[in-house]
Structure 1
């Protein structure tokens, strides 16, 4: 006869004796091999090449590229292009890099695509687990700290050339305002007050954001600024994909405000992209 579901040694019993509001902490104690950072052991001590040294030992894996985020009146916006690259090859034109973390926050990740998706899924479960254990939502500050700890757990892989670099944004119900956080590969967390970008096209996207962003943009204006910033990034960075009119592919864009997370529909993104393309086409003819 089988052991009862809640009997000694069962999964339920283990959870009860290891009760914690952090799912990743529980996983680290009970099944550490399932954490994203545990892949370093499976890679067998893979090392990144020294500067100026011979070819890299890092495997060719898809990389997600450019993410932009900004504050606007009443909330925050985050957008990502749709291209993933593998060396000089386009690995995917359809990848999504921005995801809802919960009902009041979003996460965008540039870097090694497979690890980025693992970190995203673990973070989503982390927030859902906390809500079920504690009976309340984790504060936005707490969410930002939890994500930093997860990125820190991936440091060994980052030093081997497989970095994951996130942007995190959400609506702070205590402050009644949108907030934006950037990170480095060590898990260091930095609050950005206006706008930010990460990924291979970040340098060009930030230039566009500096020119186009203004305090208290409305949501529609913020969407146009995000599309134009990604357009500028794609214009100069081959790893960033611009709006694809032929395939009808547009950036993934989310906004977060007091009402929660909202994904911007493709029809709105198509209109914004067509406006940007038309303005630049006219400018080119006049020149």
Structure 2
């Protein structure tokens, strides 16, 4: 579908639809997960004339002078949050020319942040055409955030079903499963947020989340409102927010364009006079002080006005891994940084780590195999899940009674495969979170809620937490089982198996599972699947544990020892030999003396 620039609503169009109601800033409250709040501006800081306007916004409004109206407009749009910004910038063109300067591979299957998204035109175009895994547009103006959200429906295909103002795919359903990766329009959202941190401590708390961060034509407004210090804090936060190897796309305005806006408000004018950190110094600051590794010019996109023809630059954060401190001591304090360019879709971080260890004269860690068998299935009235009890460390059986069936709530359990310590901590966290949800809502937690909590936590660490889970239980919507991988991939299933013994176990499940089974049939199927996994995998065994969950109660059964796992009884034999039965070949006597002494001092 071709998207016409006139189709989505601009801020002014949306405002005209609500002429009967005065727009309130509180109409789109800030997302509670937002780390930084919009800075409150006191009236006195804007000048005495502006103070009168803020304190008496409605008095004799019909008799306002032209100067007063201009000042009120300047206050309203002091952050560059113009409602017709894209209407002027994209006049006469079908799409934003800056898209031609971007490499689609930078965005595909990546997490993207667009700071100062305005009405969301560019954000939505990238979400649809470049296929990012997730793109978030943020803006300081709540009205523009609302317009951006409504503009989503103008970018979906003609056959996309709408529910109200939003595509049907954005409306939450009762069931959820499948990969975490979303397709448009599920991969885009907008939120009100002021990205400029007030304190240095807030920068240190920022975690690495995004592969691409865009700051397009917003540096002038940050500079005029927060000065040199605010501009530098902004750049440092971007760097902390970006993953190794990430890209920061920057479009700056010239310093000559500052004065026209600075003279509209006393505060902006005062900040303008104190600016020493000019836009032509940004590149040097980002490379030498912030820590970016390289800078590439993307050229100057064409625009219908010379004022919008601004240079685009992309700064790259170094992809590296540094040898840990313990290795520095062992290798005489030698430190090695490895610059390893990752390929699309794969993470070679461990390869870079191993290269660094070898360069330091150390042996890289060897792969250590672990093993388990976990299975589960639904039946007519509930869920049956089970696991073996053997924990291994390489070719050693480390624990014969390892707990692999973890209680999350009274009606939700999780069976785990992977690293025992990781599974223990992840399931404890899930259990605590679900109990808090139940206390807050006064209702039993749903199985899908436990699955979401698990996948969001695991996806954040991209497989570095070795926890593979089968989450099952019964809630108000019926029995459910979800398969959750260590990378955060999830899938809803009627039966599932995981672990090193799952290949043998799944063959039994696929052959004998049927819908509408009784509890006894489901228990027998799970036990036979576990037996197959324990027979076919030397890392699974010893005993098995089952949990049967229904709407009324939950029963835990185990340990159950299959016949092939039972130890044979000890055979006691009576060996009695008379003295002299064995021939003495050699006889020798050693004499020795025992000397005892006492220290009397």
TM-score (norm 1): 0.67
Task: Choose 211-220 or 78-87, whichever is displaced more.
Answer: 211-220
CA contact (8 A) 2:544 2:558 kept: no
Please tell me whether residue 168 in structure 1 is matched to residue 461 in structure 2. Answer: no
In structure 2, relative to structure 1, the CA distance for the partners of 1:113 and 1:44 (3 Å cut) is farther
Equivalence for 2:512: 212
In structure 2, relative to structure 1, the CA distance for the partners of 1:59 and 1:104 (3 Å cut) is same
Distance 2:525 2:505 in 1: 10
Deviation at 1:236, TM superposition (A): 1.4
Unpaired runs of 5+ residues, structure 2, are 1-31, 34-204, 208-320, 328-348, 566-601
In structure 2, relative to structure 1, the CA distance for the partners of 1:262 and 1:207 (3 Å cut) is same
Q: Computing the radius of gyration over CA atoms, which structure comes out larger, 1 or 2?
A: 2
CA contact (8 A) 2:408 2:431 kept: yes
Equivalence for 1:69: 376
Aligned length: 218
CA contact (8 A) 2:445 2:475 kept: no
2:531 to 231, 235, 239: 231
Asked which structure has the greater RCO (Cα within 8 Å, sep 6+), the reply is 1
Unpaired runs of 5+ residues, structure 1, are 1-18, 21-29, 33-40, 245-249, 278-287
Deviation at 1:262, TM superposition (A): 1.5
Equivalence for 2:482: 181
Deviation at 1:44, TM superposition (A): 4.5
Please tell me whether residue 190 in structure 1 is matched to residue 491 in structure 2. Answer: yes
In structure 2, relative to structure 1, the CA distance for the partners of 1:56 and 1:83 (3 Å cut) is farther
Equivalence for 1:35: none
The structure 1 segments of at least 4 consecutive aligned residues displaced by more than 3 Å after TM superposition are 43-50, 53-56
Please tell me whether residue 100 in structure 1 is matched to residue 407 in structure 2. Answer: yes
Equivalence for 2:178: none
In structure 2, relative to structure 1, the CA distance for the partners of 1:108 and 1:130 (3 Å cut) is same
Equivalence for 2:545: 252
Equivalence for 2:394: 87
Equivalence for 1:283: none
1:125 to 432, 439, 447: 432
Distance 2:531 2:364 in 1: 31
Equivalence for 1:38: none
Distance 2:324 2:430 in 1: 26
1:262 to 530, 542, 555: 555
Deviation at 1:153, TM superposition (A): 3.3
Distance 1:203 1:126 in 2: 33
Distance 2:448 2:421 in 1: 26
Deviation at 1:106, TM superposition (A): 0.8
1:137 to 439, 444, 458: 444
Distance 1:72 1:224 in 2: 12
CA contact (8 A) 2:417 2:467 kept: yes
In structure 2, relative to structure 1, the CA distance for the partners of 1:57 and 1:219 (3 Å cut) is same
Equivalence for 1:15: none
Deviation at 1:264, TM superposition (A): 2.2
Deviation string 1:229-258 (CA, Å, 9 cap, x unpaired) is 1111111111111xx4xxxxx311001111
SS at match of 1:157: coil
Please tell me whether residue 203 in structure 1 is matched to residue 498 in structure 2. Answer: no
Please tell me whether residue 240 in structure 1 is matched to residue 540 in structure 2. Answer: yes
Equivalence for 1:147: 454
CA contact (8 A) 2:370 2:391 kept: yes
Task: Choose 253-262 or 72-81, whichever is displaced more.
Answer: 253-262
Deviation string 1:144-180 (CA, Å, 9 cap, x unpaired) is 211211222342624xxxx21111011121x2x2111
CA contact (8 A) 1:48 1:58 kept: no
Deviation at 1:63, TM superposition (A): 4.2
Distance 1:123 1:103 in 2: 13
TM-score (norm 2): 0.33
Distance 2:467 2:397 in 1: 19
CA contact (8 A) 2:371 2:501 kept: no
Distance 1:201 1:80 in 2: 10
